[in-house]
Amino acid sequence: MTSQQDSDRTDAGPARHYDLLVLGTGSGNTIVDDRFDDWSVGIVERTEFGGTCLNRGCIPSKMFVVTADHACDAAQGPRFGVHTRYDGVDWPAVRDRVFDRIDPQARGGREYREGLVNVEVHAGTARFTGERRLVVETEHGEVQVSADQVVIAVGGRPVVPDIEGLEEAAAAGLVHTSDTIMRIDALPHRLGVIGGGYVGSEFANIFASLGTEVVQVDGQDLLLSTQDADVARRFTEISGERWDLRLGAELERVELTDGGLRLHLGEQGTAEVDLLLLAVGRRPNSDLLDLEGTGIEVDDAGRVVVDEQQRTTAEGVWALGDISTHHPLKHVANHEARIVQHNLLHPEDLQTVDHRFVPQAVFSVPQVAAVGLTEEQAREQGLDLAVFTQHYADVAHGWALEEDDSGHLVKVLADRATGRLVGAHLLGPQASVLVQPLIQAMSFDQPVRGLARGQYWIHPALSEVVENALIGLEAALDA
Ligand SMILES: Cc1cc2nc3c(=O)[nH]c(=O)nc-3n(C[C@H](O)[C@H](O)[C@H](O)COP(=O)(O)OP(=O)(O)OC[C@H]3O[C@@H](n4cnc5c(N)ncnc54)[C@H](O)[C@@H]3O)c2cc1C
Ligand SMILES: NC(=O)c1ccc[n+]([C@@H]2O[C@H](COP(=O)([O-])OP(=O)(O)OC[C@H]3O[C@@H](n4cnc5c(N)ncnc54)[C@H](O)[C@@H]3O)[C@@H](O)[C@H]2O)c1
């Protein structure tokens, strides 16, 4: 590769041409390693380095989840005969523990890139002006950039619905999204959470565990309504025992009250809260890019259209992660970044993404984890299914965890025609870890028969709940 960097000035400021231009420093930033040392590289980032996951997503939220788990454990002590109780939280200390770890990582990421001789970092928002030509709006004016190869990795952002009174409430500083809720100054006494998906369910648990009175609202009749119905139902029941759930409800209007907010929820009445968290989904940032006229196609949901090699519909332009995926998860964005990285380096030997068995987990209490089809999806596809559900309460480690059957479960589905797993759905402690052997079995096309008995499972570890689920599934296949 030859560097064609130049610095011709134009009306819009200095022009730069690169071998590679990366837009966004979430998973996009992982592409540039020492194999690109002889490429000239431009990187554009409009906020902190590291993207959503590091700064406003997975990592800080899971640090709060672990803190919330400590609070729950303290409150649960007496159930085990232990004299503990939960006495409240030093919120600024909790928050600062998280961001004193994270913020230096973001700064360090930027400094590292800025220190590389072949890389130029532009702090600003990029938008296209032509074929692989863009302008970056920075604090110091506009910079024109162009490149032989462009990687679009600009992610997404929370959806803010258009609801009466919301703007006034936001102007009063009482409305948050996942972008801001983790940096607030004080633990709210009462929190309204609009949305019962991933973000809503994780934050409802965090704040409820720390002592906030939570009211959670969702338009659907179940929380996590896209999960397998058995899991969604039990998760909803457990959450409903812990905080105020208003399901099948619309947030129709928000009203400012003395020091707080009144949420008008149609048939679900009203709720008084101090702060509101909007968690009604995320949208891709394609609208910031001025893609019209570039040949880069976007679908109805605003996702940049890519093929199996992560190529967009425009020559030399790639996309990855939340801007283009149907699975807006960090492990997917990272996988796609590895594919783009390989394909940039080996244009004669393109690799294809593997989206066959994308797992996911919700880090609430209890945890939820899943891979493959739900029972409903499998039946819709007309599969001849064998299904088995193993309860945690019926394995040795489950006895240690719970006195009665709390409904924690491992549900596994197999296709009788192939003898292979087609889905696994877990609800309970460590679900996000326990699901891994099931992902592995599906990814490596291992038959269900022999999966349990063909290996040792440590006794009395919680993994026996997965072993027993597979034994039960094998019996169901043979029935
Ligand atoms: C609260 C929360 C918790 C989450 N938890 C998990 C989890 O536990 N597990 C999991 O797998 N996933 C989780 N996710 C999802 C995960 O964060 C995303 O899937 C992942 O970060 C997407 O990575 P990305 O690189 O595609 O985009 P991002 O990480 O969003 O990076 C895009 C970058 O592009 C920048 N940018 C945007 N537009 C422009 C522009 N025009 N010019 C220049 N720069 C621009 C942005 O500032 C950003 O830094 C969570 C998300 C949230 C919100
Ligand atoms: N643990 C994780 O992996 C994790 C955690 C957080 C976020 N994420 C990612 O972020 C994405 C976005 O998460 P999210 O929770 O914002 O979206 P989501 O799509 O998971 O859930 C949105 C919820 O809001 C509800 N809703 C939508 N509009 C509403 C309205 N007007 N009133 C009431 N309810 C309404 C929907 O019924 C749905 O239950 C997820 O799809 C996921 O990919 C992942």
**Cα-to-centroid distance, 145 and ligand 2 (Å):** 35
Query: Domain of 214: which CATH number?
Result: 3.50.50.60
Pocket-testing residue among 164, 199, 203, 368, ligand 2, by greatest number of atoms within 8 A of Cβ: 199
Question: Is there a domain that residue 115 lies in?
Answer: yes
Nearest to 245 by CA among 227, 225, 271, 226: 271
pLDDT of residue 14: 63
Full residue range of the structural domain in which residue 8 is found: 4-54+96-157+283-345
Same domain, 182 and 328: no
Same domain, 289 and 267: no
Which atom of ligand 1 sits closest to the CA of residue 58? 5
Same domain, 370 and 338: no
**Cα-to-centroid distance, 71 and ligand 1 (Å):** 28
Report ipTM (2 d.p.).
Answer: 0.99
pLDDT of residue 405: 83
**Cα-to-centroid distance, 106 and ligand 1 (Å):** 13
Question: Is there a domain that residue 221 lies in?
Answer: yes
Query: Residue 151 CA: which ligand is closest?
Result: 1
Q: pLDDT by residue (tens digit) across 210-252?
A: 999 999 999 999 999 999 999 999 999 999 999 999 999 989 9
Q: Do 159 and 178 contact (CB within 8 A), yes or no?
A: no
Same domain, 14 and 129: yes
pLDDT of residue 6: 39
346 is catalytic: no
Q: Do 336 and 318 contact (CB within 8 A), yes or no?
A: no
Query: Domain of 389: which CATH number?
Result: 3.30.390.30
Same domain, 49 and 145: yes
Give the pocket of ligand 2 (CB within 6 Å): 161, 194-200, 202, 217-220, 225, 250-251, 279-282, 328-329, 360-363
Same domain, 455 and 376: yes
Same domain, 333 and 470: no
pLDDT of residue 161: 96
CA distances from 367 to 1, 87, 408, 410 (A): 48, 24, 9, 12
pLDDT of residue 2: 40
- Residue carrying structure tokens 């709940």: 465
Question: Is there a domain that residue 245 lies in?
Answer: yes
474: exposed, middle or buried (C-beta count within 10 Å: 0-12, 13-18, 19+)?
A: buried
- Residue carrying structure tokens 């938008």: 127
**Cα-to-centroid distance, 333 and ligand 1 (Å):** 9
**Ligand 1 within 6 A of CB of 369:** no
Q: Show which of 264, 280, 296 is a domain's final residue.
A: 280
Give me the torsion for CA of 49, 52, 57, 58, rounded to 10°: -80
Same domain, 45 and 146: yes
Question: Is there a domain that residue 462 lies in?
Answer: yes
Same domain, 287 and 268: no
From CA 231, how far away is CA 407, in angstroms rounded? 9
Ranges of the chain whose pLDDT falls below 70: 1-14
**Tally of structural domains, the chain:** 3
Same domain, 198 and 210: yes
pLDDT of residue 13: 59
